[in-house]
Chains A and B, each alone.
Chain A
Amino acid sequence: MYTINSFKKGLKDGLPICIGYFPVSFAFGIFAVENGLTILQAFLISVTNLTSAGQLAAVPIIAGGGTLIELAVSQLVINSRYSLMSVSLGQKLSSKVKLFERMAIAFGNTDEIFAVSVSNNGELGSKYMYGVIALPVLGWTSGTLLGAIAGNVLPPIISAALGVAIYGMFIAIVVPVAKKEKATALCVLLSIALSCAFKYVPFLQNVPSGFVVIICAVASSVIFAILAPVKADDSTPDKEVENNG
Chain B
Amino acid sequence: MDNTKFCIYLAVMAGVTYLVRMIPLVAIKEKIKNKFVLSFLHYIPYTVLSAMTVPGVFYATGNMLSACIGFVIAVIAALFNRSLVQVAALSCLGVLATELVINYIL
The interface residues of chain A lying within 8 Å CB-to-CB of B78 are 171-172, 174-176
Q: Is B25 touching A187 in the complex (CB atoms < 8 A)?
A: no
B15-59 interface with A by 8 A CB criterion: 16-18, 20-26, 28-29, 31-33, 35-36, 38-57
Bound Cα distance A194, B56 (Å): 13
Report chain B residues within 8 Å CB of A172.
74, 77-78, 82-84, 86-88
> A81 vs B17: C-alpha distance in the bound complex, in angstroms?
11
Please name all residues of chain A whose beta carbon is closer than 8 Å to the beta carbon of B25 when the two chains form the complex: 86-87, 89-90, 102-103, 105-106, 109
Contact B54 A195, beta carbon cutoff 8 Å: yes
Check A107–B21 contact: CB distance below 8 A.
yes
Nearest to A41 among chain B residues (CB) is B6
Chain B residues within an 8 Å CB radius of A86? 20-25, 28
| Assembly CA distance A178 to B95 (angstroms) | 24
- The size of the chain B interface, using a CB distance under 8 A, is 77
30 A-B residue pairs with Cβ-Cβ distance under 8 Å, sorted by A, are: A41-B6, A49-B14, A53-B52, A75-B16, A77-B48, A79-B21, A81-B44, A83-B41, A86-B20, A87-B24, A99-B26, A102-B26, A106-B21, A109-B25, A160-B62, A161-B93, A164-B70, A167-B74, A168-B87, A170-B53, A171-B78, A175-B78, A187-B46, A191-B50, A192-B50, A194-B51, A195-B52, A213-B52, A216-B51, A221-B47
Interface, chain B (partner A; CB < 8 A): 1, 3, 6, 8-10, 12-14, 16-18, 20-26, 28-29, 31-33, 35-36, 38-57, 60-63, 66-67, 70-71, 74-75, 77-79, 81-93, 95-96, 99-100, 103
Q: Chain A residues in contact with chain B, CB under 8 A? A: 16, 19-20, 23-24, 36-38, 41, 44-45, 48-51, 53-54, 56-58, 61-63, 68, 71-72, 75-87, 89-91, 99, 102-103, 105-107, 109, 111-112, 156-158, 160-179, 184, 187-188, 190-192, 194-196, 199-200, 212-213, 216-218, 220-222, 224-226, 228-230, 232, 235-237
